[in-house]
Structure 1
């Protein structure tokens, strides 16, 4: 960057001028040094305010700004000045809207935030994107309805697509359906499976190369620059690929594990998938003797929502049983269909399909728990159910029993992608959902923990055909976005605008392997000597490697251990009262603070919030900096973690909490109370409980007493 010229611009609007003494703020800014241009404006984000700053850029050559106004989460475009470095200080949310106006504590708080902003901008540099030449083909793994839809969507964007299917024919499970549930209003008539028209479209599309009886042997490289080895007919070829859509789908749950429901005891106990084959013959006949099935009983949640089998709902089973009950009635108007359910789940407009089916007098539905399926000597089946809507035990004789079995992802014990990554050949999966690809389902659908690889359809979570097709379109859009961003040299997600990248000072690297082990996205590999190196297109710019490194050698141009440490050291520490520093996740906790401010909730004036990219970037040296400076307490405010984690970077909060636990052991050994440093889980919706959480921590620190380092 050319010679730096600094400027501080303070907004008076949104209650800021009524909350703090502006002359005091300007005095604090001058105290930080090297800031000759300090100005105020009534409304900085207005057209006049923006022009006010642009005039200084032109006349004074100002190229480094501290904008003391509103939160950095708003007015981003207004305060974006090309070629200039801007640091935002949220006086509106952190001071004017959450503090007692014109009090001594409020003034001190505002001045501290301004000092931290000035400190940060002096240590930062303008990030510069590094455009790259990439391969723009998209690989789709799986030729079922999800993969076919994803391939068509990507090809219609103008991208070349390689579609890989392990079977000889396209279509997957959907090709085995006799009919499918309706996809449009009024949701009454069954449809010809859409998968067959999709197959024709794919085979005739000039942008799609179809490889059947094929499998991925190895995936090497990084987004935009993948080398994918595909084996077809015993021959291996390497394809240049930019992004990957994993649409490998799911397989039916193994029915032999459902002997308690009669499967295997009688040929007349079949699965919902086997029922489709029976219907395709044009009549519903008993497999045991070929006679028409006059009474057909459907057992819902056959193995699903059961901790002994599948702990989850498979999403499609209820509608499938309703559809198949229609088969029974359409093919034999004298036949009866019984559906015994735990809960009927027909989301959205499928409720119309449910109600229409209910109106058929030959389709009987009741809630109940199946206790057994007995086989009589003559082959007749008896289904026993308890806890029914009638409040009594019932017995239903049946010619045919259909088990509504669920789905298991094909990736269970089968990597499919065969990634040549240090962290393993497959995608990290969700322990809670037994093998479904971890796509950060709470925050970002489709996106997996392998950048550039997008999961769609039933490999991501159980779903029906209509939902899988929507899923496929979303994954295709994300794959396209990945190509666009990678070619421009910017982060893919979730920091989609970020032009920075980690720039380690490798001369001091000790090859301790912490960064390679803790990176949630497999962005760091090791050479034959064990020295780490980045596959930068895999990087999400979370800074987890920065937090992990004990040598503190990983830096971004506008975010580093030194930058944040300097902000802590810039604080004014009073002789009386406590001072707290809170390192705050910018994805959940910081928006929660903004929301608390929007609702005009009071935040304790002793606390200074410092946003970080992710708590995974939290480095333990910041605790040392804070305590040596005389800070009395340290809070970490981060996303929830665990089975239903909300961390945008998958493991950030969990890693921060782990590091904090190790730190607390050290503090106890040093005679410093470990309770001075605490981790708190804060969801974006927790703004209403945030003030009490902070007040309670401050009260506990006050009870413990001042930091003994204040005396030195």
Structure 2
């Protein structure tokens, strides 16, 4: 479009008192702005109306708002049909730098100059439109999470396809005799309500149910997933827009718990086996059929154990409390022991715990040392933490092991997914995929979901728990994390809502988490592609496959718009209409760099917009003073940083480059999974190049920060500035 650009400067919130607004106005008009206006309350109705009048009367279609952070007032400064750029003069300007100071003014002018350049070079994104878009939802798994997700999606008016491998729906809950009370007083045992949920699903005309079926393959992307289902020797095809993965979990293999007597003594059983006894209405010893009068429950049987399951399985404590009450209700005179490491009966489960205590259940805290059989009964030796001694408990009829929860995604052979020619130093550690038979994705990155360190389907559990690395596929229930019945119901409802959100955003051409409403998508200038495969390998979301000629084959609706592919491409052929290598490079080059004798160094901060940028805002909101040397450029993700930007900055005479990004690791916080990790790998390579060019590698640094590290930000910047003073000015300054 032919651009008509105007700049609007807010003088409220202390901006007008701290800066020379006339100088900023002159700068704007000298840099291709049609005009520049100021207003004391730009985000108010009068200020917004002023902008709208200029759009209608003057044909303004490119708007630069010099006011508060881009993270606030997003709805207020939303002008459909216009390209809008924000200049942060408040949080990262006058709120963290001295008022009416030369350095503060220079900072404001540079920030305005960079935004003007970006506005001039950006284009209004045109949303990607899916052909033959489907708004149906596929739910994989017919347990509690699956039937809940299907029912909730259908209630919201969305056609749903439910696939369950077993001949009946219900999953683990089907095996329960009773469930822990979900309503006051929370200490009563209730009838299992799964049957009503199943009936609702099976009788709903908007839900198509496949039982005794498996997913043969899933191809495509959000809005256009093509699903092939095997059932009864035949195949069916469905087209869906989003997927809820609710394949659940199974009990840990008690055969691996020989040290607790399972497999050696017939009267050592699992909680599932005890539940079967309760459903039959009788508790008899497997060894001789004698009626059970004393039971010992061993909690954390395999859980919270580095040799088995390092994590807590959540439901073991409350399920054992419930089962203890089974026996007490049938025979109040029976003896029940519970041996536990920690009693995790949180919230309303405290009432269940108290009832078990009042009805005579005996609790012992510590570690089971051994289980043996003597005289036809079982004997437990136990290291009691409270008594500080080993305790021997005899004449036990039955030992019940509360085994942990293993997600279905952790069952199967582990395989690594890596490009055939990818060298170890070219990228982060390859994804570990379980070679299972759940989703059978037709993705270059592997047939199943990437998993977290314990085998659970990965999700951005810190900020957005349902999101996985496969866009449009949402994990729910115990396949995502160990959880109880109420949590599973809530989780499945949330996942169904996220699937709906994905479909609706995809229909608009918008990104999903975390760049919701972003209408841009990567464009490829294929004439220069060298088929290096960097973009396909490094994309965290499987958004780029390869065609039959080994060229990149983008799947725009899988894309999260992080720009990792853009940062990876050595030929710089990938760009977005409003975010590209040339755009950011031009922003860097627009910074005014004082001469060396002025002793005003310059530091460019590339700040991840998800954690680092808001942390910088919060430092300003708390009036923490930041070095006036810095010039901040928000980036979608550190993974989008192309090394040419660092070369541009250094050749411009910038003294230092600081990359502030999310934390990464097993418990990743990076909103784009591997962006920070990729940036650190790329920087490890540039250090050698800088040394060869006689430019100190200390001039470039990366720091991992979370949004809550705002109080550390000024110190991080100050320490970097001190290091640059030791290193000295950039020798390219002035050239």
Assess if the C-alpha contact under 8 Å between 2:136 and 2:161 holds in 1: yes
Conservation of the 8 A alpha-carbon contact between 2:641 and 2:679:
yes
Task: Determine which of 363, 378, 383 is the counterpart of 1:381.
Answer: 378
Cα distance per residue 1:190-210 (max 9 Å; x no partner): 111121221111111111111
Q: Which moved more, 1:53-62 or 1:12-21?
A: 53-62
After TM superposition, give the deviation of residue 578 of structure 1 in Å.
1.4
User: Would you say 1:425 and 2:447 are equivalent positions?
Assistant: yes
The CA distance in 1 between the partners of 2:18 and 2:723, in whole Å, is 28
Q: Which residue of 2 aligns with 1:542?
A: 562
* Structure 1 residue 187, shift from structure 2 partner: 0.5
Give the SS at the match of 1:581: strand
1:564 alignment counterpart = 584
Q: Is the 8 A contact 1:415 1:427 kept in 2?
A: no
1:97 aligns with: 95
Q: Deviations over 1:350-382 (max 9, x none)?
A: 22222232222x211121111111111x22111
- How many Å apart are 1:647 and its aligned residue? 1.1
Match in the other structure for 1:703: 726
Q: CA deviation at 1:130?
A: 3.5
Cα deviation, residue 550, structure 1:
0.8
Residue 187 of structure 2 corresponds to 188
Q: Provide the rounded CA distance (Å) in 1 between the counterparts of 2:734 and 2:163.
A: 68
Shift of 1:470: 0.8
Counting matched residue pairs gives 706
Task: Compute the displacement of 1:48 (Å).
Answer: 1.1
Is the deviation greater in 511-520 or in 653-662? 653-662
What root-mean-square deviation, in Å, do the aligned CA atoms of Structure 1 and Structure 2 show? 1.2
The question of 1:671 aligning with 2:698 is answered: no
Match of 2:640 among 617, 627, 638: 617
- For residues 408-557 of structure 1, what are the structure 2 equivalents within 5 Å? 408-412=406-410, 413=412, 414-431=436-453, 433=454, 435-557=455-577
**Distance between the aligned counterparts of 1:178 and 1:509, measured in 2?**
62
Q: Structure 2: which 5+ residue stretches go unaligned?
A: 413-435
Per-residue Cα deviation, 1:555-577 (whole angstroms, up to 9, x for no partner): 11111111111110000001123
**Partner residue of 2:82?**
84
- Deviation string, structure 1 residues 458-507 (Cα, Å, up to 9, x no partner): 11111112111111101111111111111121112221111111111111
Q: Distance in 2 between matches of 1:100 and 1:77?
A: 30
Q: Is the 8 A contact 2:128 2:556 kept in 1?
A: no
Deviates more, 1:193-202 or 1:137-146: 193-202
Shift of residue 329, structure 1, vs aligned partner: 0.6
Deviation for aligned residue 1:22: 1.2
Are residue 682 (structure 1) and residue 712 (structure 2) matched? no
> Which 10-residue stretch deviates more, 124-133 or 276-285?
124-133
Question: Residue 344 of structure 1 corresponds to which residue in structure 2?
Answer: 343
List per-residue Cα deviations over 1:590-641 (Å, max 9, x = no partner).
Answer: 1111111111111111011100111111111100000000001001100110
Residue in 1 that maps onto 2:430: none
User: Residue 145 of structure 2: SS of its match in structure 1?
Assistant: helix
Measured after TM superposition, the shift of residue 388 of structure 1 is 2.5
C-alpha separation in 2, matches of 1:558 and 1:77? 19
CA distance in 1, matches of 2:466, 2:196: 25
Q: Describe how 1:37-76 pairs up with structure 2 within 5 A.
A: 37-76=35-74
Tell me if the contact between 1:584 and 1:609 (Cα under 8 Å) persists in the aligned partners: yes
CA distance in 1, matches of 2:56, 2:228: 54
Q: Which residue of 2 aligns with 1:106?
A: 104
Q: 1:645 aligns to what?
A: 668
Cross-structure match for 2:163: 164
Question: Structure 1's 170 and 36: CA in aligned 2 closer, same or farther, altered over 3 A?
Answer: closer
Structure 1 Cα separation of the partners of residues 613 and 7 of structure 2: 23
1:363 to 347, 361, 385: 361
Counterpart residue number, 2:328: 329
> Structure 2: how far apart are the matches of 1:338 and 1:128?
66
User: Take 1:238 and 1:60, find their aligned partners in 2: how far apart are those partners?
Assistant: 54
Aligned to 2:428: none
Deviation at 1:101, TM superposition (A): 0.8
Q: CA deviation at 1:690?
A: 0.9
Contact 1:384 1:393 in 2 (8 A): yes
Instruction: Tell me the SS of whatever aligns to 2:65.
Output: strand
Instruction: Tell me, yes or no, if the aligned pair for 1:265 and 1:375 is still in contact at 8 Å.
Output: no
Counterpart of 2:235? 236
CA distance in 2, matches of 1:195, 1:550: 55
Structure 1 distance, partners of 2:161, 2:80, is 39
Cα distance in 2 for partners of 1:78, 1:169 equals 51
Q: What does residue 13 of structure 2 align with?
A: 14
Q: Tell me, yes or no, if the aligned pair for 1:284 and 1:331 is still in contact at 8 Å.
A: no
- Is the 1:492–1:540 contact (alpha carbons within 8 Å) kept by the matching residues of 2? yes
SS in structure 2 of the partner of residue 709 of structure 1: coil
SS in 2 for 1:65: strand
- Give 1:711 deviation, angstroms: 4.4
Native 8 Å contact 2:70 2:87 kept in 1: yes
After TM superposition, give the deviation of residue 415 of structure 1 in Å: 4.1
> What's the CA shift for 1:670?
2.1
Does 1:577 find its partner at 2:600?
yes
Q: Write the distance in 1 (CA, Å) between the matches of 2:693 and 2:259.
A: 60
Q: 2:92·2:620 contact (CA, 8 Å) conserved in 1?
A: yes
Q: Deviations over 1:145-180 (max 9, x none)?
A: 111111111111111111111111111111011111
Tell whether the 8 Å contact from 2:221 to 2:558 is kept in structure 1 after alignment. yes
Aligned equivalents of 1:351, 1:119: Cα separation in 2: 60
2:300 aligns to what?
Answer: 301
- The farther-off stretch of 343-352 and 108-117 is 343-352
Deviation by residue 1:394-418 (Cα, 9 ceiling, x = unmatched): 1112111111100111122214100
After superposition, residues 195-210 of structure 1 pair within 5 angstroms as 195-210=194-209
Query: 2:185, 2:358 → 1: CA distance?
Result: 15
Residues in 1 aligned to 2:29 and 2:196: alpha-carbon distance in whole angstroms? 70
Cross-structure match for 2:420: none
Q: 1:67 deviation in Å?
A: 0.7
- Shift, 1:259, TM fit: 0.5
CA distance in 2, matches of 1:62, 1:203: 56
Match of residue 265 from structure 1: 264
Aligned-partner SS, 1:621: helix
CA distance in 2, matches of 1:363, 1:460: 33
Aligned partners of 1:603, 1:264: CA distance in 2, in Å? 65
**Gaps spanning 5+ residues in structure 1: where?**
none
SS of residue matched to 1:710: coil
CA contact (8 A) 2:606 2:660 kept: yes
Deviation at 1:128, TM superposition (A): 2.2
* DSSP 3-state at the match of 1:393: strand
Please give the alpha-carbon distance, in whole angstroms, between the structure 2 residues aligned to 1:143 and 1:57: 53
Pick which of 449-458 and 382-391 moved more. Answer: 382-391
SS of the residue aligned with 1:566?
A: helix
Q: Is the 8 A contact 2:128 2:521 kept in 1?
A: no
State the shift of 1:340 in Å. 1.0
Give the Cα–Cα distance (whole angstroms) in 1 for the partners of residues 186 and 246 of structure 2. 27
